[in-house]
Amino acid sequence: MRPAPPSFRCLITAGPTREHLDPVRFLSNGSSGKMGYALARAAADRGWQVDLVSGPVALAAPAGVDVHPVISADDMLAACEPRFARCDLFIAVAAVADYRPQTFHAEKQKRPKDALTLELVPTVDILKTLAARKAPRQLVVGFAAETHDVEAYARRKLAEKHLDWIVANDVSGTETGMNADANTVLLLGANGARQEFGPAPKLQVADFILRNVVP
Ligand code: CTP
């Protein structure tokens, strides 16, 4: 296969999202954004045009990458939508909060004296929404963060979200996966490909993913 030209466009989501209860409190996920930022850097190093839609993280923008900061899942989808239509490769790495409070309070709520029950509603599935609009020329890659039955759950997400590839990682330990500097991944393709990689620094993992997905 011919190498992707420098005009190749890549869209990546990274980091956690936040769903606010009030101006100071929110629901979120434990995610440093390191894997998504490493992928953005590896993509920019290939000369590609890279849009990185990022939840709140403590990481510097990789050189040559257009970073679009967002807070909530709805913000993330809105930032991705126009950019998805013109990308060649979409990689969803973000740890999107699965629920948001049904009610947002514009003023900070006082600490309750008794137990508090929150009514939560599901957030939008960004990856599934965009993958459903995929043109034949586009490639869509998802991540699956799992603590058990990693391969089985990843295969299910590959099929249910209509992806070309899924990167499964075991987040049950602390050495690799979320927040760590290294990762061990299992890359599964809709074409039947199956490859393991790592443990390795996240930039090497990013390079492994890109060279398999865009050979
Ligand atoms: N994802 C997304 N929008 C969501 C939830 C997930 O775009 N609201 C994407 C993630 O970026 C990742 C993939 O979907 O690429 C799988 O995310 P993961 O959290 O592993 O799975 P979920 O679909 O949330 O399922 P579960 O939490 O039940 O494992």
CATH number, domain of 53, equals 3.40.50.10300
**In which residue are the tokens 């970073």 written?**
67
Q: Is residue 69 part of a domain?
A: yes
Q: Is 131 in the pocket of ligand 1 (CB under 6 A)?
A: no
Q: Is residue 16 part of a domain?
A: yes
What angle is formed at CA 135 by the lines to CA 16 and CA 35, rounded to 5 degrees? 25
Q: Is residue 144 part of a domain?
A: yes
125 Cα–ligand 1 center, Å: 7
Please identify, by atom number, the ligand 1 atom nearest to the C-alpha of residue 13.
11
Q: Is residue 175 part of a domain?
A: yes
Across-strand partners of 100?
A: 121
| pLDDT score recorded for residue 212 | 97
39 Cα–ligand 1 center, Å: 17
Task: Confirm if 103 and 121 have CB atoms less than 8 A apart.
Answer: no
> How many domains is the chain built from?
1
Q: What are phi and psi of 30, to 5 degrees?
A: -80, 100
Q: Is 77 exposed, middle or buried (0-12, 13-18, 19+ CB in 10 A)?
A: buried
Would you name the residues annotated as active-site residues?
Answer: 29
96 Cα–ligand 1 center, Å: 6
Q: Is 74 in the pocket of ligand 1 (CB under 6 A)?
A: no
What range does the domain containing 194 cover? 9-99+119-213
Q: Is residue 191 part of a domain?
A: yes
| pLDDT score recorded for residue 112 | 81
Q: Is residue 31 part of a domain?
A: yes
Q: Is 75 in the pocket of ligand 1 (CB under 6 A)?
A: no
| pLDDT score recorded for residue 1 | 54
127 Cα–ligand 1 center, Å: 7
Q: Is residue 13 part of a domain?
A: yes
- Residues of the chain with confidence (pLDDT) below 70: 1-6, 174-177
Q: Is 143 in the pocket of ligand 1 (CB under 6 A)?
A: yes
